[in-house]
């Protein structure tokens, strides 16, 4: 009897323990440290909010390509506020002992006067989660914690013993596009507050970062430096070039110094407004700000629920989902004020902030489709933001870094984002204005801006004249990208009942044929006189400037035709299309589908860059959907990892690789970018047994859409049969409208391809040249 009672008691204890064990939330799976070895400036383990203006992160590298934070370097040279493409601002570093105002080299062996204030870290203390980062510095054993709101930062420094403490504010920050400091001022305006600004220039991008810094205890000393000259016991530090300021404190054992900051591109007063509006409600509670950030991130990540036994796959999924929202930037203040491309102060509706980023180059294969499906409110905001910039500056921006016309990358693929947003029923923006902006972009040759950037399309005069970009002037691959944007304009015109514009741009959407050489069956470099460039191979001529193929080669770009895959199949021949593409995957699998060292000519399927991120999905169009199922799985397995050393292998441009993984893991994709008047999704091989998409009912009627992949595993990656909303589905695609009304897609998975499913003539997804 006692044994039974004891067993019952132990069982009860076990039940209580199980009940008390907290359930992991999506935010708990997202790991900002994942992939931070060989990562870009814009992707780091720091603390930020979705599209945060303030992106607080540790920096430990010099001014090199892929600079910022490198996981394998065991030091920190500062925690800076801005990690946007071509932009940086206001680095913070706590130190103790003798004042040292030199950062020091990234490979400095120890902290000291000769090497600078850079500090090694206790790597085992490093922690990162969405909205939070912490590490203990070896210099003074200072525990440094950071968290953020959208436009403000919160630092908490804990000192284990009495020290002469200094908090340094450095403006000369090494990064991928290290800025020249043209004019800067720090002013101590009270015992607890410092204001200032830094006017700086990175290439064509000139901008001013205004900032406000406040402490929860009095500053006991203030000064700064210009170059190697230190300035002490002043209330203002002004200069240019390598410069900064510092605040001194006397700490006792266990002291905590808290510091809040905010920035603006408009003015110091606006930075103050950002600070008081976003931070004051939390009353100097670091935990409250951190919990707020965690809640916001968890709510966003919870829009998709995945169910599976693989903790690794969940980590990969939610981290990649997190990356899809972490690197692009809000540039309007809490009251909607912002600075336009002509440096004029503007006012927008504060509910819809102005957004900035690197180029939207080929985001139609990743971010666009994720945002329009899972966050239609965000897609709407992006469309509104792009149109606000068009109204202010006269052109749609292809990558509004700091709200400037950068000219980075080619074509105007922001057109695809706006068009796909509208076609999916997200229509709370001015559609007629959007079409006007598109027509201007696609009928007017681009111009050089006073800052040295490019507004519009660089090689457009020749394209309008010849129907292609001649090798004499620029990359022939731009022809393909311009033709795709023409098709997007045609689809938008059709949706708005503009028949003349629709017919005009549908004709231009076929311009890709002008650079197709039927003798070799590749897109080929073509001279202005119509002759083919002779010194040529399918794997040659990657280009960043000048002639050739933009960050790719003829092999890759011969499959680049988002709106008319069937047209390429017709030109190439179905057998050649399938054989060439499959052989390219077999060869590239040895390299994990990545051209290491940006050697784009060498690997056919280079998932580490944009031009052929659609490649694995093309077999759905060519009668072999089981190869789409096979190779999308292989990319998810080989290219994407789950450690700091391997998260993604190539150039993760502000979440593009992350968004691709999220869509592929759900088994969905849009080769045409979702810009057709009746958008649709292609089907791959879902990674999880069950995925639930919580639909935004402001835009979509349904509550949820569920994707079940029964028996799915790495072996059982092939679709045997499918049902959509309880009806048999025999094609490897379905319409967006059938998803957003709510329902389910159920796939029965198995270890061998069912070559009869989705492979019949007429089963292929719609394409410009197909009969669908």
> Who's near 120: CB < 8 A, 6+ residues apart?
74, 75, 110, 111, 137, 138, 139
> So what's the pLDDT on residue 13?
34
Interval 600-642: pLDDT, tens: 878 999 998 989 999 999 999 999 999 999 999 999 999 999 9
Residue 218 CB burial class (10 angstroms; 0-12, 13-18, ≥19): exposed
Mean pLDDT of the chain: 94
Angle ∠(167,171,173) on CA atoms, nearest 5:
105
> So what's the pLDDT on residue 21?
63
The confidence band for 136, taking pLDDT boundaries of 50, 70 and 90, is very high
pLDDT exceeds 50 at position 6: no
Q: Please, what is the angle between helix 656-666 and helix 311-326, to 10°?
A: 140
Interval 85-105: pLDDT, tens: 999 999 999 999 999 999 998
pLDDT exceeds 70 at position 20: no
User: If DSSP codes are grouped into helix, strand and coil, which group holds residue 747?
Assistant: strand
Residues listed for the chain: 772
> So what's the pLDDT on residue 596?
83
pLDDT exceeds 80 at position 110: no
pTM confidence score: 0.95
User: If DSSP codes are grouped into helix, strand and coil, which group holds residue 258?
Assistant: strand
Q: Do residues 153 and 56 lie in contact, with contact meaning Cβ atoms separated by under 8 Å?
A: yes
For residues 500 and 11, the model is more confident at 500
Number of Cβ within 10 Å of residue 34's Cβ equals 28
DSSP string spanning 361-392?
TTGGGTHHHHHHHH-HHHHHHHHHHHHHHHHH
> So what's the pLDDT on residue 114?
56
> So what's the pLDDT on residue 656?
95
Which has the minimum average pLDDT: 77-81, 572-576, 644-648? 644-648
Distance between CA 329 and CA 150 in Å, rounded?
Answer: 9
Percent of all residues in the chain with a pLDDT value above 70, rounded to a whole number: 96
Which of 739, 745, 735, 729 is closest to 702 using CA atoms? 739
> So what's the pLDDT on residue 772?
53
> So what's the pLDDT on residue 242?
96
> So what's the pLDDT on residue 17?
42
Phi and psi dihedrals of 245, rounded to 5? -140, 170
DSSP string spanning 35-78?
T-TT--TT--S-EE-TT-S-EEEEE---SSTT-S--TT--EE-E
Q: Token match 């043209």: residue?
A: 182
> So what's the pLDDT on residue 229?
96
> So what's the pLDDT on residue 704?
98
Instruction: Report which secondary-structure segment, H or E, holds 482.
Output: helix 478-495
Distance between CA 293 and CA 33 in Å, rounded?
Answer: 17
> So what's the pLDDT on residue 560?
97
> So what's the pLDDT on residue 734?
98
The stretch 251-261 carries a mean pLDDT of 98
Percent of all residues in the chain with a pLDDT value above 90, rounded to a whole number: 88
Distance between CA 293 and CA 47 in Å, rounded?
Answer: 9
* Strand 337-339, strand 193-202: pairing: unpaired
pLDDT exceeds 80 at position 11: no
Distance between CA 60 and CA 106 in Å, rounded?
Answer: 6
> So what's the pLDDT on residue 15?
41
Which has the minimum average pLDDT: 69-83, 137-151, 383-397, 445-459? 445-459
C-alpha distance from residue 365 to each of 128, 398, 578 (Å):
29, 16, 21
Q: Which two tokens stand for residue 446?
A: 């681009």
Q: Which two tokens stand for residue 522?
A: 């590749």
pLDDT exceeds 60 at position 18: no
Please list the alpha-helical segments (H only) found in 691-772: 736-740
Domains and CATH numbers, the chain: 31-299 (2.70.98.10)
User: If DSSP codes are grouped into helix, strand and coil, which group holds residue 125?
Assistant: strand
Q: Do residues 653 and 361 lie in contact, with contact meaning Cβ atoms separated by under 8 Å?
A: yes
The stretch 730-743 carries a mean pLDDT of 98
> So what's the pLDDT on residue 112?
52
> So what's the pLDDT on residue 349?
98
Q: Do residues 222 and 247 lie in contact, with contact meaning Cβ atoms separated by under 8 Å?
A: yes
Interval 668-709: pLDDT, tens: 999 999 999 999 999 999 999 999 999 999 999 999 999 999
Number of Cβ within 10 Å of residue 349's Cβ equals 10
Angle ∠(571,573,575) on CA atoms, nearest 5:
160
Which of 158, 143, 120, 138 is closest to 249 using CA atoms? 158
Longest dimension (CA), the chain: 99
Interval 466-476: pLDDT, tens: 999 999 999 99
Distance between CA 356 and CA 405 in Å, rounded?
Answer: 11
> So what's the pLDDT on residue 702?
96
Interval 118-129: pLDDT, tens: 999 999 999 999
Q: Which two tokens stand for residue 507?
A: 């004709």
Interval 61-84: pLDDT, tens: 999 888 999 999 999 999 999 999
> So what's the pLDDT on residue 65?
87
Q: Token match 């680095």: residue?
A: 91
pLDDT exceeds 70 at position 19: no
Torsion-angle region of 726 (φ positive above 0: left; ψ -120 to 50: alpha; else: beta): left
Interval 167-183: pLDDT, tens: 999 999 999 989 999 99
In 641-756, DSSP assigns E strands to 668-669, 680-683, 690-694, 704-710, 718-724, 727-728, 733-735, 743-750
DSSP structural state of residue 227: T
DSSP structural state of residue 667: T
pLDDT exceeds 60 at position 2: no
């Amino acid at each position: 009897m006692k044994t039974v009672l004891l067993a019952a008691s132990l069982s009860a204890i076990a039940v209580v323990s199980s009940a008390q064990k907290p359930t992991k939330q999506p935010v708990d799976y997202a790991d900002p440290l994942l992939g931070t070895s060989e990562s870009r400036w814009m992707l780091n383990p720091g603390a930020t909010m979705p599209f945060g203006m303030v992106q607080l992160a540790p920096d430990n590298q010099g001014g090199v390509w892929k600079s910022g934070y490198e996981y394998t370097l065991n030091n920190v040279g500062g925690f800076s506020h801005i990690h946007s493409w071509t932009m940086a601002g206001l680095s913070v570093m706590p130190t103790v002992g003798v004042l040292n105002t030199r950062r020091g080299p990234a490979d400095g062996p120890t902290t000291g006067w000769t090497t600078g204030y850079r500090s090694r870290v206790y790597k085992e203390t490093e922690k990162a989660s969405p909205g939070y980062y912490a590490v203990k510095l070896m210099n003074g054993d200072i525990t440094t914690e950071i968290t953020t709101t959208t436009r403000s930062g919160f630092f908490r420094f804990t000192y284990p013993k009495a020290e002469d403490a200094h908090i340094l504010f450095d403006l000369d920050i090494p990064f991928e596009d290290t800025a020249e400091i043209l004019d800067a001022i720090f002013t101590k305006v009270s015992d607890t507050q410092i204001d200032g600004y830094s006017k700086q220039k990175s290439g064509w991008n000139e901008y001013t970062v205004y900032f406000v810094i406040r402490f929860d205890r009095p500053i006991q000393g203030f000064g700064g430096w210009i170059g190697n000259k230190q300035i002490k016991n002043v209330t203002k530090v002004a200069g240019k070039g390598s410069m900064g300021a510092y605040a001194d404190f006397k700490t006792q054992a266990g002291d905590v110094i808290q510091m809040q900051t905010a920035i603006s591109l408009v003015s110091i007063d606006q930075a103050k407004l950002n600070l008081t509006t976003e931070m004051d409600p939390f009353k100097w509670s670091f935990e409250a700000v951190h919990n707020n950030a965690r809640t916001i991130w968890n709510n966003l990540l919870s829009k998709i629920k995945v169910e599976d036994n693989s903790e690794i796959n969940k980590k990969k999924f939610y981290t990649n989902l997190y990356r899809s929202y972490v690197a692009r930037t809000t540039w309007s203040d809490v009251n909607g004020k912002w600075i336009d491309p002509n440096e004029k102060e503007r006012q927008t509706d504060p509910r819809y902030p102005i957004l900035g980023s690197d180029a939207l180059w080929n985001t139609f294969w990743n971010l666009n489709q994720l945002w329009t499906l899972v966050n239609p409110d965000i897609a709407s905001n992006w469309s509104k933001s792009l149109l606000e910039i068009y109204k202010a500056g006269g052109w749609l921006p292809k990558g509004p870094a700091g709200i400037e016309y950068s000219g980075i990358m080619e074509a105007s693929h922001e057109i695809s984002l706006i068009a796909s947003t509208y076609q999916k029923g997200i229509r709370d923006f001015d559609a007629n204005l959007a079409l006007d902006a598109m027509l201007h972009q696609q009928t007017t040759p681009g111009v050089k801006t006073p800052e040295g950037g490019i507004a519009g399309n660089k090689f457009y005069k020749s394209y309008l004249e010849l129907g292609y970009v001649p090798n004499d002037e620029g990359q022939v691959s731009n022809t393909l990208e311009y033709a795709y944007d023409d098709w997007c304009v045609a689809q938008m015109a059709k949706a708005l009942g503009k028949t003349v514009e629709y017919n005009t741009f549908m004709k231009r959407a076929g311009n890709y044929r002008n650079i197709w050489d039927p003798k070799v069956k590749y897109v080929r470099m073509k001279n202005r006189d119509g002759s083919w460039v002779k010194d040529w191979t399918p794997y040659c001529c990657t280009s960043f400037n000048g002639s050739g193929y933009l960050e790719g080669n003829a092999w890759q770009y011969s499959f680049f035709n988002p709106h008319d895959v069937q047209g390429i199949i017709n030109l190439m021949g179905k057998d050649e299309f399938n054989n060439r593409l499959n052989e390219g995957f077999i060869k590239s699998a040895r390299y994990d589908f990545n051209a290491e060292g940006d050697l784009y000519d060498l690997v056919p399927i280079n998932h580490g860059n944009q031009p052929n991120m659609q490649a694995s999905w093309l077999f759905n169009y060519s009668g072999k959907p089981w190869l789409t199922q096979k190779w999308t799985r292989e990319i998810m397995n080989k290219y994407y990892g789950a450690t700091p050393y391997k998260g993604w292998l190539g150039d993760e441009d502000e979440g593009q690789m992350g968004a691709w993984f999220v869509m592929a893991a759900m088994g969905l994709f849009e080769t045409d970018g979702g810009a057709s008047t009746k958008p649709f999704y292609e089907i791959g091989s879902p990674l999880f047994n069950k995925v639930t998409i919580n639909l935004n009912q402001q835009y979509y009627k349904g509550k949820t859409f569920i994707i079940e992949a029964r028996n799915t595993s790495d072996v059982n990656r092939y679709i045997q049969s499918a049902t959509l909303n309880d009806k048999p589905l025999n094609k490897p695609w379905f319409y967006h409208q059938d998803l957003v009304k709510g329902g389910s897609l159920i796939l029965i998975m198995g270890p061998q391809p069912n070559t009869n499913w989705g492979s019949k003539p007429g089963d292929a997804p719609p394409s410009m040249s197909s009969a669908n």
